[in-house]
Chain A
Amino acid sequence: MSKSGAIRSSYDRETRAGDGPDRRRLATSMNTPAEPSWRRIAFDRAPQDDFFLPNFCAPRMVLAIVLILELLALTFALARRGGTDFLTELAGISLFMQWLGLTAAAVLCYSRRWLATLSVPIAVLMAFALLTANVAVLSEATFQLGRNLRESGINGSLFPDSHWAFLFRNAGISAIVTAMLLRYFFVAHQWSLHVHAEARSRLHALQARIRPHFFFNSMNTIASLTRSNPSCAEEAVADLADLFRATMRDSEEPSRMQEELELCRTYLRIEKLRLGERLTVRWQIGEVLASAIVPRLTIQPLLENAIHHGIEPLDGGGTVIVAGVLSADDIVITVTNPVTDMTGRYIRPGNRLALENIRERLSLAYGERGRVDVTEEEGHYAVTLRFPYEE
């Protein structure tokens, strides 16, 4: 309890500090690389580590560096002051810059672990120094190579002629670009941390709650049973405790279909005490789904809705049907309850709230592929959940 409370209050502070929703939307739209972002938000404990520099050993990163450098080389070649041939100029600049960039990536790749142990300002300074040194060394080597080539009579027109001007110019450009990049990485990292924290706290805030109506009614039933049927009361207390424990658990922990269904049965045992013969539940869940991953507490609230809005208002009671199938790569779960004059006429705010909650949690976890649909047909009200199958 205290944990989730603390998280929620920090979330409040964050949303007040920056204009949260807009920034989040922007961030998620930027955040669409190969690794699906929903997965990270939903199930990972935390981002891989807390260091602001990305991993420069990753192939994707290397490719990005090559592309960015080529664009930069193109810019320099376009900005040349006439005289030389464009393609020759581009070739020379590209060759040199790719060298610079790839060695810089290698340097950061190897030094990253060491840099991560330092404090952020020191790490920034060190990374800056390393990259500048890298440029200086390579520039010097290039110049020496050019001089040697010229001395041995080979055409060295691609190579610079003025030693110090070349060195200082490169060091200057490198210092500016490096500073900008480091700043960018730092800000981007802060941003992603913020987005991550926000998504987590949203998940916590959205975690299913026990409906007060259900809680007090259950307490009333237990109060009655303590005298008439103490062992039954004991069971009910244990069931209620299990249910509460489930709602307090970390919502990011994945849950298996079996666990979720067990939770539903626990909940139904309590409702059954209250409603007796009036409540019948039919299960039609395929065996294949038993070990599938289901976001915690997504089916139980649907049952609760079905009973609260569909069964309780019926004189003679009714049947709730819980069906689960595997359709293509998606899990499709449908909870159906009867609708009559007495039940269906009014869409109640409580119902919509719970559905919105589940909808939002599914879309946080699965993006576009997590869906909640409501269908109302002749005498039946059905809520369908659809999300990707995973084991």
Chain B
Amino acid sequence: MTQSAVKVLIVDDEPHARERLERLVGELPHCKVVGLCGTGTEALNVMSELEPSVVLLDIRMPGMSGIEAARHLSMLPAPPAVVFTTAYDEYAMEAFDAQAVGYLLKPIRKERLEQALRQAAKLTAAQLKIVAATEREAARRQHIAVRVRDALKLIPVKDIQFFRADQKYVSVHHAAGDDLIDESLTDLAEEFSPEFSRIHRSILVSVEYLEAIERDRSGRHFARLRGREELLPVGRRQVGDLKRLFSAR
């Protein structure tokens, strides 16, 4: 441990749970609580300001789950170490053990907490993806995180109209603009199926925003999205799928 105090951020939706953790961490030498958050989103928002080195993350929280929050955190340029806290979550615990991810069982013992903080490690995106897959409730994220300088911007998945793969990056097109993310279109298609559908080799659209299929004089197909001027090309192989999607409505 370094000389300066370890900065700890506590994230839990239950006030009593936060209160107790704050007290326990406060009693440990070389540790300092820099903030308390009630939701994952709140935690992501304060990261750049508080710069904690360890985040204690409750798994089961309303809105964004702890595991989703951790996935977003891992995309920060200098991600904090993450220790999950949980009362009981059979499946997640198995995954944590398998991936050597640190976690604490509530009610938390002071010695365990001290040990976990000492061993707290930065988690990789790959580790977290495996853990997320075992999360019973929803392996899929409810937000896509976009790195903006040192902070993260969260885009609600329900606001996303489509993803488009360019040479190197994938761009997210949503109600409030366009952003670049560092994820593969194949992974995204897998995670968000069937709400998102591949209409072209390089385009994944939100089925909810699909408005119509159009055809130009030369026989090529285009998709029109609600709230969008531009037409998106539809791949020849995907035309059939797309038409079926419309007729199923």
Contacts and interface: CB of A to CB of B under 8 A. Distances in A.
Interface of A: 212-213, 215-217, 219-225, 227-228, 273-276, 312-315, 341-342, 345-346, 348-349
B226 interface: no
B49 interface: no
A348 B158 contact: no
Contacts of B87: 212-213, 216-217, 220
Nearest to A316: B62
22 contacts: A212-B87, A213-B88, A216-B107, A217-B14, A217-B17, A217-B88, A219-B107, A220-B17, A220-B87, A220-B108, A221-B17, A224-B20, A225-B16, A227-B23, A228-B16, A228-B19, A275-B14, A315-B62, A341-B142, A342-B62, A342-B63, A346-B137
Interface string B123-161: 000000000000011100010000000000000001000
Given A217-B17, A217-B87, 13 more contacts: A213-B89, A216-B107, A217-B14, A220-B17, A220-B20, A221-B16, A223-B20, A224-B16, A225-B16, A313-B63, A314-B62, A315-B62, A342-B62
B129 to A, nearest CB: 19
A312 B19 CA distance: 19
B49 to A, nearest CB: 22
A219 B106 contact: yes
Contacts of A212: 87-88
Interface in B70-100: 87-89
B39 interface: yes
Nearest to B39: A315
Given A217-B87, A219-B107, A312 B60 contact: yes
Interface residues of B, number: 23
Give the dominant DSSP class at A's interface. helix
A315 B62 CA distance: 5
Given A221-B16, A227-B23, A228-B19, A348 B137 contact: yes
Contacts of A216: 87-88, 105-107
Interface in B46-69: 60, 62-63
Nearest to B195: A345
B16 A273 contact: yes
A318 to B, nearest CB: 10
A294 B63 CA distance: 36
Nearest to A341: B158
Given A221-B16, A224-B16, A312 B107 contact: no
Contacts of A314: 62
Contacts of A275: 14
Contacts of B19: 224, 228
B227 interface: no
B15 interface: yes
Contacts of B138: 345-346
A220 B19 CA distance: 11
A354 B63 CA distance: 24
The winner among B62, B88, B105, B108 for most chain A CB atoms within 10 A is B62
Nearest to A308: B60
Contacts of B62: 312-315, 342
The 4 closest A-B pairs by CB, nearest first: A224-B20, A216-B87, A220-B106, A223-B107
